[in-house]
Amino acid sequence: MVPFSYYVVLSAVLFGLGVIGFLFKRNIITMFMSIELMLNAVNLAFVAFSRALGQLQGQVFVFFVIVVAAAEAAVGLAIVILIARNRKSLNIERVDLLKL
């Protein structure tokens, strides 16, 4: 039986990697994927705590997080398409002005 703190440590490591990816990548889509990685890390912590405390509410919360992530991906990718169409680039450093 694996102690549940191992799961939470793994979740923290994945979250940290997501933060590093978000800070270092210059491509909008990859930055977006780093955010998804962070959401996944948090989900793992939720499920681990749900197991440790013997309560199912954590898993219900994961379900809602997945739904919100799906909605976020749909709207976010539409925005990415708009940016790519207007600026002809996916580099985040070219999206530093609100005005075209």
Tell me the two tokens of residue 64.
């809602």
| Cβ at position 99, least distance to other proteins in Å | 18
Compute the distance between CA of residue 96 and CA of residue 100 in angstroms, rounded to an integer. Answer: 10
100 binds other proteins (CB under 8 A): no
Binding site for other proteins (CB under 8 A): 1-10, 12-21, 23-27, 29-30, 32-34, 36-37, 40, 43-44, 47-48, 50-54, 56-57, 59-60, 62-64, 66-75, 77-82, 84, 90-91, 93
